[in-house]
């Protein structure tokens, strides 16, 4: 007879969803989800705290790697990286914000699926390159953006990087989440292979690309509708 599967640890997912919806601090939300999951799994408080410490000690070098990137990016920005990225797009007469972000989403998702997750990221790609390029594409077609429009362009650039990475890396067979799911299923008597789990991530990644691309292609129209005076908007549509 199959053993009953304990579903109480899934409460941690509910904690993550509620915390992000209420816009609590991300670090606190993740820690709270880990505590809830551990307690629901039957782990006592002291061993659970020890697991947190063990996890920190194993990954502390990754933090140093990220911090080492920041001075390099800052030095490149100081020497005009953002300005060069903006000017490059301004020279492309047919470039639009939507098309630019859709291309980046495709590249980001494919590279993540191949395990090349370090090719993008907020500090090394979105801030110094992608966001200035989207602003340059906007300025080339519509002039100087308002502060609200500029914030929206930057936010959508960051969101595009997140979507591409999140759904693309699930296809990579050696991704940690794929191995975690494989181990969890194996421990509960459900035979599976990491390759099969990764392959089932392809439909999700495809639909994520289509849905987010549709949002990106409507971005300029929405910003023009809500961000420009009526007279100027009428002139754009004429």
For residue 65, being part of any structural domain is answered with: no
Q: Does residue 168 lie within any of the structural domains?
A: yes
Question: Residue 127 and residue 154: Cα distance in Å, rounded?
Answer: 8
- Whether residue 165 is contained in a domain is answered as yes
The closest alpha carbon to 141, from 234, 214, 85, 221, belongs to: 221
Its pTM surpasses 0.75: no
Q: How many domains is the chain partitioned into structurally?
A: 1
Q: Containing domain of residue 149, as a range?
A: 80-238
Cα–Cα distance for residue pair 33/38, rounded to 1 Å? 8
For residues 189 and 195, the answer to whether their CB atoms sit within 8 Å is: no
- Counting residues of the chain whose pLDDT is more than 70, the rounded percentage is 84
DSSP H helical ranges for the chain: 11-21, 26-40, 45-78, 81-90, 97-113, 131-142, 147-169, 176-187, 194-199, 201-217, 219-227, 230-237
Report the SS3 class of residue 128.
helix
Q: Is the pLDDT of residue 230 over 80?
A: no
Task: With respect to residue 69, please indicate whether it lies within any of the assigned structural domains.
Answer: no
At residue 20, does pLDDT exceed 60?
Answer: yes
Q: 15 in a domain, yes or no? A: no
Domain membership flag for residue 235: yes
What's the pLDDT at 1? 41
pLDDT tens column, 111-123: 999 988 888 888 8
């Amino acid at each position: 007879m199959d053993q009953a599967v304990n579903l109480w640890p899934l409460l941690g997912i509910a904690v993550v969803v509620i915390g992000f919806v209420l816009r609590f601090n991300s670090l606190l939300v993740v820690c709270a989800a880990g505590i809830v999951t551990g307690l629901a799994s039957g782990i006592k408080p002291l061993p659970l705290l020890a697991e947190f410490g063990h996890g920190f000690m194993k990954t502390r070098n990754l933090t140093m790697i990220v911090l080492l990137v920041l001075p390099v990016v800052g030095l490149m920005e100081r020497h005009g990286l953002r300005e060069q990225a903006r000017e490059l797009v301004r020279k492309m007469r047919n470039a639009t914000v939507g098309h630019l972000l859709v291309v980046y989403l495709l590249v980001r998702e494919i590279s993540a699926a191949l395990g090349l997750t370090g090719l993008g990221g907020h500090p090394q790609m979105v801030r110094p390159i992608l966001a200035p390029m989207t602003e340059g594409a906007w300025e080339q077609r519509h002039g100087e953006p308002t502060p609200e429009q500029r914030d929206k362009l930057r936010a959508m650039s960051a969101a595009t990087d997140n979507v591409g990475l999140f759904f693309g890396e699930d296809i990579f067979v050696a991704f940690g989440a794929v191995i975690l799911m494989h181990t969890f299923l194996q421990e509960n008597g459900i035979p599976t292979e990491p390759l099969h789990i990764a392959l089932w991530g392809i439909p999700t990644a495809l639909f994520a690309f289509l849905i987010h691309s549709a949002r990106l292609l409507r971005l300029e129209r929405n910003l023009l509708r809500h961000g420009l005076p009526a007279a100027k908007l009428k002139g754009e549509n004429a």
